[in-house]
Structure 1
Amino acid sequence: MIRLNSRRVALARGVAVAAVVLGAGLARPVLAAETTAPVLGEVIVTAQKRAENINDVPESLTAISGDKLDAIRSSGGDIRVLSARVPSLVLESSFGRTFPRPYIRGLGNTDFDLNASQPVSFVYDDVVLENPILKGVPLFDIDQVEALRGPQGTLFGRNTPAGVLKFDSVKPSQTFGGYAEASYGTYGTTNLEGAVGGPIVADVLSGRFSALYQHRDNWIDNTFTHQNNATGGYDEYALRGQLMFAPTSQFNALANVHYFHLDGSPQIFRANIIQKGTSDFVPGFDVEKIAQDAQSRSFQKVEETGASLKMNYDFGGPVLTSVTGFEHVKVLSHGDIDGGFGAAFAPPSGPGLIPFPSESADGMPYHAQWSEELRLAGKHDALSYTVGAFYFFEDVKIDSFDYNTLAGGTQDGFAYQHQKTTSWALFGNADYKLTPQWTAGGGLRYSNDSKDFLAQRLVSPIGAPPTAVERANPTSDDVSFNVNTTYALTDDTNLYARIAKGYRAPSIQGRLLFGDTISVARKETLMSYETGFKADLFDKRARVDADVFYYKVDDMQLTAVGGGANFNQLINAKHAEGYGFEFDGEAEPIDHLIFTAGLSYNHTRIDDPNLTVQPCGGGCTVLDPAGALPGTVNINGNSLPNAPRWIANATASYSIPYGDGEFFVFTDWAYRSSINIFLYQSTEFTGQYLLEGGLRLGYRAAGGRWEAAVFGRNITNRIQLEGAIDFNNLTGFVNDPRTIGVEVKTKF
C-alpha cells in the first residue's frame, strides 16, 4: 500500500476544498436567475462501455461535444486541438499533422519512432488504434469525445495506464438528416465537411455517409532558396460509411468502413531558433520564414483504410456484443531534420551553427491490425456486470532512410524493422448497489502479450558496417484491476473513490541508423488512487466535478531521445510519481449564457537515484548534475517531459435572439504552464507557457437550420516552442500562428 506523506495529504485536502469553493463560485450567479431558467442537458458517456450519466461514473473524465468541439476544430485543426482543452491533457507532435503524442497527468512518450508505444490509448468507434500513425486520423462528424484520466486497464486493457481518449462518430438512424459545412481562412485554409443519413429500408436498415476535405496553402518562405510560400501546406480528405442493420428488436449490426489520405508538409524544424542561455526565441525570429537546403525534398504522405463490425444481441436482459476491427495504414515522411543549410565544415551554413547536416525519412510500407472484443453485459437486481475477452494482432514493417544533403540528397543510409504483436485478455467488471445511496464496484483483467521483433541496418550514413539482424521476443502478462465506490450524498451529488492498476506491455526501440543495438523496456505498471465528487447544482443549472489523485509507476518506460549520439534508447526508471487535482465546471446562469471551465494541477517526479541519460549535443545549458558515467547527467527528481504543472481552459457562449434565430458569440481559451521538453533539464529546452484563444461570431437560424460565422484561432498570435531536436543544435518547432476565417453551415 502506498502511503501519502503529510504534505500530499494537506495538498489533497486543500485542493478538494478549493474545488468545492470554485464550483460554488462558478454557479453562484444562478442564484439570482429566475426559476424558469433553462437547465443543463444530461451528459451521457460510455466510459464503462454502457450508456450512463457522467455523474454516475466513478472516475475522472471530461466529455466534449457541440459548440466547443466545433469551435476548436475551426481552421482545419488536427487532433492536437484537444491539447489543454481538457484538464491534465497535452498533445504534441514532432511528425506534423499525424502521429500525435498524448500525455495525461504527465504520462506519455516522447519517442518519434513509428513503432513507439504510448500509455494513452485511442479508441475510435469502439476499435483501439494502437499504432501512433493511426491516432492521427481526423475528427469529423463526431458525436462526442471522452477523455478518461487514470488507468483504464480493466475495460480497455493494456497500454492504458495514463488513460484513454475515446471518439464516437454520429451513428445512422431511421431519421433522415445531415449537415454541410464550409470555411475559408488565413493561408488559404479550407475546410469542407458534411454528412447525410437516414432510413434505407424502413425500421430495418439505415445508413450514414460522412466526408471531410481540408487544405492549407504553403505559407512559409524559404530564405535560403529564395522561394516564397515554400512549405507548411497540406491536402487531406477522409470518408466514412456506416450501415445499421436491425431486423429485430433483439439484434442489430453496425458496419463501418473508412478511408483517410494526407499529402502535406512534415513538422517544420527551425535551426537555432532558441537564444542560448534562455528559453526565448532569437532576435528577429519570424514564424513565416525558414532557411533550409533540404526543404524542397520534404513531404509527408499518409493513407489509412479500415473497417469494423459491431453486433449486439439482446437475450432479454444480458446483451452480447462483438466488435471486430481491421486497420491498415501506410506512411512516408521526409524532412530536413537539422532545420538549416550547409554545415560548419561545408560553408555557407546556418542559421547559426550547423555541426553536420541531417536529412532523413521514415516510412511504414506495410501495416495490418486486427482486433476482436466479445463481451456480455447485463443487470440482475442490484448487480450490473460486464465480462468479456479481447484479441489483438498487429504486423508492421518500418523503413528508415538517411540522405546526404551536401550531395544533392542522395540516399546514404537504410535500416528496417519488422514487428508482430499478439495480445489477448480476459476481463470482468461489476457494480453492486449496496443501498439506494451506496454503490461498490470493481473489475479484473488478465492480459498476455508477446512480440516478435527484428531489425537491421544495411547502410550506415557514417560509414559503419552493416549490423547483424537484431532480434527481440519480449513476453509478459499482468493482472490489472480497479476497485471503486460511489455514495449519493443527495439526488444530485455523488462522492466517489477509485483505486486502479494499469499496465503497459514491453516496448522495443529498434532505430539502427546511428546505433548498433536495439533496446527493450520492461513492462510498466502503475497504481493510482483517486477521490472526488460530481454534482448538479441549483436545479441543474450548473454542473461541477473535481478530484484529487496520486499515482506511482514502477519500471516506468522512458525514451532517451537524441543526445550527442543522435540515438534513441528505451530505459526503465525504477519509479515515477505524480499527484494533483482536476476540476470541470459548466453553468448557464441566465438564458442564452453558458460558461465552462477546467483546471488541473500535476506534479510529476522521476524517482531513481541511479538513472542517467546523455544530455544534448547542441550546446544547451544543462542544469542536472553529472552522472556516474562520462558524458551523462543524473535525472533523478526531474519532472516528466511535456508535463505542465498547470492546465486551465474556459469557454463562454452568449446568444441574442433576433427574428426567428439568434446572434451568438463563442470564445474559448486554453493555457498550459511551462514544460520540460526532454528527460534532462536545460535552460534552452524549456517550453514557456502557452495561451491560445479562439473566437466565433455569427448568426444561427431557428433550430440550427443554418448559421454563418467569422472565427479566429490563436487570436493573440502567441507563438511558443512546442518541442525541440536536441542532437545537433538549438533546433525547435512551434505552434501555429493566428488564423482568421469565415464559416457557413446548414443542417437538414
Structure 2
Amino acid sequence: MKSLKKSAIATIINAALLSAAGTSISAFAAEEETAKKSNQLEVIQVTARKRVENAQEVPVAVSALQGDNLDAYSSAGMDIRFLNAKIPSLSIESSFGRSFPRFYVRGLGNTDFDLNASQPVSLVVDEVVQENAILKGFPVFDVERVEVLRGPQGTLFGRNTPAGLVKFDTVKPSQEFDGYGSVSYGSRGAVDTSGAVGGALTDRLSARVSLLWQDKDDYIDNQAPGFEAKDEQGGYTEKAARVQFLYEGDDFTALLNYHTRDLDGSPIAFRANVIKAGTNELVDNYENDVVYQDAASRSTQQVESEGASLKLEWELKNHTITSISAWESAEIYSRADIDGGYGCGFCGQDNGPGFVPFEAESADGIPDHDQLTQELRLSSNFDGDLNYQVGVFYFDEELTIENFNYNTADNGVLNGYVEQQQDTTAWAVFGSVDYVVSDDLKVTAGLRYSDDEKDFSANRLVGAPIPPVNLNLSDDHISWDLSANYKVNDDVNWYGRVANSFRAPSIQGRVLFGSEATTAESETITSYETGIKSDVLDGQGRVNATVFYYTMDDQQLTAVGGDTNTNRLINADKTTGYGFELDTQWVLSDELNATFNLSYNKTEIKDDSISIPVPDRVTLNVTDPINNSGFALLDGNSLPHAPEWISNFTLRYTKELADGNFFASGDISYRSKINMFLYESVEFEGKELIETGLRTGYTWSEGDYEYEVAAFVRNLFDEQQVIGAVDFNNNTGIVNEERYVGAEFKVNFF
C-alpha cells in the first residue's frame, strides 16, 4: 500500500511540474468553424460563477462541452449517460437504464437505488437544481453547453454540493429567427428525431420551441423454459418538449421555461449468472439479445415529468437583481426481474441460467412528487476593484415512494408493498466577494449558511406487519471557499482554491424486507486544489492541469444488497481523495482539431471499525478481510464506481469539397476498473472499459439553410462487459450498450 501511494503521489507531482511548464485543465470545447477560420482556438465563455467569464480566468476546475463533440457523443439516441468518461473525473451509471442516472465526480457519488437517495453531485438545468435522480434523467437536446464544475460548490449556486456540479444551458430564445431539424436511424430499428424553432414574436418578445422523439423496438428475446418470447425487452419510446418565452425590456428581462417528458419502455436488463465464477469475465455463451427470465413479460418502465421556471432580472445602475422561481414534478413506475433468471433453487424449482437461489421481482414507483425552489440574488456591477454577489435560496420537496414485491411463482401476485413519504425543506443564505488586488491578482471569498430538515415516514401495507417508521432529521452548516487567480502572463493563469461544503443527513427507509430504516448523519468535505490554465502556440493549443486533495468526514455510504435485497446507510469516519486532471485542446492545422483529457482519482476509506454484510455464497470470492460476524472490513477500500483513471481523445478532420465540407471525427474514451460495491470481490470488480466512436459526413449550405448528412458508430469494437451488478442472489450483472450504427440528416435554418 505504501509503495502504491508513493507512486500515485509521484504521478501527481509530475503533473504539477508539467503544469508549471504551461499545462492545465480547462474547458475544452469550442465551435470549430471559428477555429478553422482563424487557426486559433475560440475563447470559451462559461457561467460557472453566475456571470459570463473567460474559462481560462475562472478559479474553478471547470470543463465545458459543446458544438461538434457534444453532437457526436449524443448520437445514437443516447440518454445522459453518454457523458460518462467524456470529461475528466466524471462518471455516470444507472441500474434503471434511461432514468435515475447516478453521477460521480472525483470518485464521490452514491450507489443507492432507492428513489429518495440524495446525491453529492448536483445537476442544474437552466439554473434550476434537479434534486431527485429521476429529474436528472431528462433527455439532452437543443443544449447550448454542458459545464462540469469539480469540487465543492454552494457559495454561488442555490443548492450546496460536496462533490461537484453538472450544469446544462439550453439554447435560449432570441430576436433572430433560427432552428434545426434532425432525424437519425440506427441499429435495432432505433429512430432519433429532434428539432427546434425560435424567433421574435414582437420587438421585445421572442420564443423557442424544442421537441424530441426517440423510439427503439424491443429486441431482446426471452429463452427461459416455459416463458419463451421474441422481442420482449430492450425498446423504448421517449418524448420530450421545451417551450421558452423571453421578454427583453430596457433594464428588465423575463424568461419563462416549460418542459415535459414521457418515457415508456423497458427497464435495464438484469442477467443472472452472467459473470463467470472466480473471474470478472462474461460467461462464454453470453448473448446481448437474449435473457432467461420468468418475469420478463411484466417488466416495464414509465416516467413522466414536467416543470416550469421563471427567471426575472433587473439591471440597475450598479447592481443586478435576479429571481428564479421553479417547480418540478415527476412520476415513475419501474418493474423488473431483478434476479435476472427463472425459478427458485432454494424452493426446489427448476432454475437458471446457472443456480438462481430465489426469485426477486420488484418494482419502485413515485406516484407523487413536487419540488419548489426559489433563488434571489443581488450582484454588484462596480467599476472598481471590489464586487460581490449575495443571495437566498429556498427548497421544498414532497416525495411519495412506493416499493413493491411480487410472487413470481404465482404469476406476479403482489406480496409486499411499502409506502414512503419524505418531505424536505431547506433554506440558505450565500454570498461571495471578488477583489482585484492588482492587475495580475484577483481573489474571491465565499460563505454560505445552510439549514436542511427531512420528515420521513414508512408503512408496510402488504406483507408481514411492522411498526410504522417515523423519523425527523435536521442539520445546519456554514460552508466557505477561498480562491485566487494570478495572471502569470497574457497566456498563463495560475489559480488556487480551498473549499468546504456538506451534505445534509439522509434517510433510507426501504423496509420492504427489513424492519428498520437507517440514517446517515451529515458529511463534510474540505478540498484543496491548484492549477494552471494556459493558451500555448499562439492560441493554437490550450493545455491546463489541476492537482487536488480532499478529506471527507462522516461520508455517507450505502451498503447495497449484501445479504438481502435492501440498502443500508452508514457513515465512514474519514475518506480521502487526491489526484490530477489534465485537459487539452489543439488546432493541429486548418483542417485538423484534437482534444485530449486525462484524470487520476485515488479514493480511500479510512475507518478501521466499518464493516458490512456480504453474500454468503461459494460463487463469490470476497477479497476483503472478514470479521467474526461474517462482515467485510472496508478500511482501505476505494469508493464504489470510482475509477482511478479516466481519459478521452477526439480528432476531427474537415476538408472543403465541392460546395461544402467533408468531415470525419473519432473519439476514444477510457475508464479504468471499478469496484461495484463497498466491499471488494473478484466477480464484482468491473473491468476496464474502452469505447470508440466514429462520425463522418458532408455539410453544405443553400441560401438560409445548412444541411448535414452523416454516418456514425458508437462502441465501434462492440466492447461488452459488466458495468453494474446485483449481489444478493447470484452473479447477476448489467452489461453496457452494444455497438450502434446509424445515419443522420440535419438541417439548420436562419
Q: TM-score, normalised by structure 1?
A: 0.96
| Mapping of residues 145-156 of structure 1, within 5 Å | 145-156=146-157
> Which residue of the other structure, out of 345, 365, 368, is the alignment partner of 2:370?
368
- Matched to 1:284, the amino acid is N
- Matched to 1:741, the amino acid is G
> Which residue of the other structure, out of 447, 455, 458, is the alignment partner of 1:455?
458
Distance in 1, Cα, partners of 2:274 & 2:360 = 17
2:606 aligned with 1:611: no
| Mapping of residues 510-521 of structure 1, within 5 Å | 510-521=509-520
Q: CA deviation at 1:567?
A: 2.4
Q: CA deviation at 1:542?
A: 1.2
On the 8 A contact 1:666/1:697 being kept in 2, the answer is yes
Structure 1 residues 35, 596: closer, same or farther in 2, change over 3 A?
Answer: closer
On the 8 A contact 1:375/1:386 being kept in 2, the answer is yes
SS in 1 for 2:69: helix
2:125 aligned with 1:127: no
**Aligned position for 2:443:** 440
On the 8 A contact 1:153/1:501 being kept in 2, the answer is no
**Aligned position for 1:216:** 216
**Aligned position for 1:504:** 503
- Matched to 2:16, the amino acid is A
Query: Identity over aligned residues, as a percent?
Result: 48
Q: CA deviation at 1:541?
A: 1.3
Distance in 2, Cα, partners of 1:329 & 1:9 = 44
On the 8 A contact 2:22/2:543 being kept in 1, the answer is no
**Aligned position for 1:207:** 207
2:624 aligned with 1:621: no
Distance in 1, Cα, partners of 2:11 & 2:564 = 41
**Aligned position for 1:564:** 563
Structure 1 residues 687, 593: closer, same or farther in 2, change over 3 A?
Answer: same
Structure 1 residues 650, 570: closer, same or farther in 2, change over 3 A?
Answer: same
SS in 2 for 1:342: coil
On the 8 A contact 1:79/1:136 being kept in 2, the answer is yes
**Aligned position for 2:685:** 686
Q: CA deviation at 1:154?
A: 1.4
Distance in 2, Cα, partners of 1:610 & 1:41 = 52
Q: CA deviation at 1:544?
A: 1.6
- Matched to 1:194, the amino acid is G
Q: CA deviation at 1:25?
A: 14
**Aligned position for 1:232:** 234
Equivalences, count: 731
Q: CA deviation at 1:442?
A: 1.2
On the 8 A contact 2:378/2:389 being kept in 1, the answer is yes
Distance in 1, Cα, partners of 2:260 & 2:322 = 25
Q: CA deviation at 1:742?
A: 0.5
SS in 1 for 2:82: helix
**Aligned position for 2:332:** 331
Distance in 1, Cα, partners of 2:207 & 2:37 = 39
2:416 aligned with 1:417: no
Q: CA deviation at 1:317?
A: 2.4
2:191 aligned with 1:190: yes
2:359 aligned with 1:357: yes
CA deviation profile, 1:693-732 (whole Å, cap 9, x unmatched)? 1111100114970100000010110011110001000000
**Aligned position for 2:246:** 244
**Aligned position for 2:349:** 347
Q: CA deviation at 1:439?
A: 0.7
- Matched to 2:206, the amino acid is S
- Matched to 2:265, the amino acid is G
Distance in 1, Cα, partners of 2:503 & 2:423 = 17
**Aligned position for 2:316:** 315
Q: CA deviation at 1:98?
A: 0.3
Q: CA deviation at 1:41?
A: 1.0
On the 8 A contact 2:667/2:693 being kept in 1, the answer is yes
On the 8 A contact 1:103/1:109 being kept in 2, the answer is yes
Q: CA deviation at 1:42?
A: 1.2
Q: CA deviation at 1:346?
A: 3.9
CA deviation profile, 1:429-474 (whole Å, cap 9, x unmatched)? 12111000011111000000001110111223xxxx3111111110
Distance in 2, Cα, partners of 1:639 & 1:134 = 28
**Aligned position for 1:70:** 71
CA deviation profile, 1:319-377 (whole Å, cap 9, x unmatched)? 00000110000000000000001111243210011111000010000000000000011
Q: Which consecutive unaligned segments of at least 5 residues does structure 2 have?
A: 29-34
SS in 2 for 1:237: strand
- Matched to 1:208, the amino acid is R
Q: Which consecutive unaligned segments of at least 5 residues does structure 1 have?
A: 28-33
CA deviation profile, 1:585-631 (whole Å, cap 9, x unmatched)? 1011210211011100000000000000011355310101113x512
**Aligned position for 2:32:** none
- Matched to 1:430, the amino acid is V
On the 8 A contact 2:66/2:146 being kept in 1, the answer is yes
On the 8 A contact 1:311/1:322 being kept in 2, the answer is yes
2:92 aligned with 1:91: yes
SS in 2 for 1:424: strand
- Matched to 1:593, the amino acid is L
Q: CA deviation at 1:96?
A: 1.1
Distance in 2, Cα, partners of 1:586 & 1:221 = 44
RMSD across aligned positions (CA): 1.8
Distance in 1, Cα, partners of 2:411 & 2:709 = 49
On the 8 A contact 1:114/1:131 being kept in 2, the answer is yes
On the 8 A contact 2:311/2:324 being kept in 1, the answer is yes
Distance in 1, Cα, partners of 2:234 & 2:377 = 45
- Matched to 2:447, the amino acid is L
Distance in 1, Cα, partners of 2:92 & 2:687 = 16
Q: CA deviation at 1:20?
A: 6.0
**Aligned position for 1:400:** 403
2:553 aligned with 1:554: yes
- Matched to 2:674, the amino acid is I
On the 8 A contact 1:153/1:503 being kept in 2, the answer is no
**Aligned position for 1:747:** 748
- Matched to 2:392, the amino acid is A
Distance in 1, Cα, partners of 2:317 & 2:631 = 64
Distance in 2, Cα, partners of 1:544 & 1:151 = 23
CA deviation profile, 1:226-255 (whole Å, cap 9, x unmatched)? 322211000001000000011x22001000
Distance in 1, Cα, partners of 2:641 & 2:394 = 32
SS in 1 for 2:268: coil
Distance in 2, Cα, partners of 1:409 & 1:221 = 20
- Matched to 1:332, the amino acid is Y
Structure 1 residues 369, 25: closer, same or farther in 2, change over 3 A?
Answer: closer
**Aligned position for 2:430:** 427
2:289 aligned with 1:288: yes
**Aligned position for 1:597:** 596
CA deviation profile, 1:89-130 (whole Å, cap 9, x unmatched)? 110000110000110000000000000000000000110000
**Aligned position for 1:707:** 708
SS in 2 for 1:74: coil
Q: CA deviation at 1:159?
A: 4.9
**Aligned position for 1:273:** 274
Structure 1 residues 502, 24: closer, same or farther in 2, change over 3 A?
Answer: closer
On the 8 A contact 1:663/1:699 being kept in 2, the answer is yes
**Aligned position for 1:40:** 41
**Aligned position for 2:31:** none
CA deviation profile, 1:140-174 (whole Å, cap 9, x unmatched)? 00000001101002122555111000000000000
Q: CA deviation at 1:38?
A: 1.4
| Mapping of residues 524-535 of structure 1, within 5 Å | 524-535=523-534
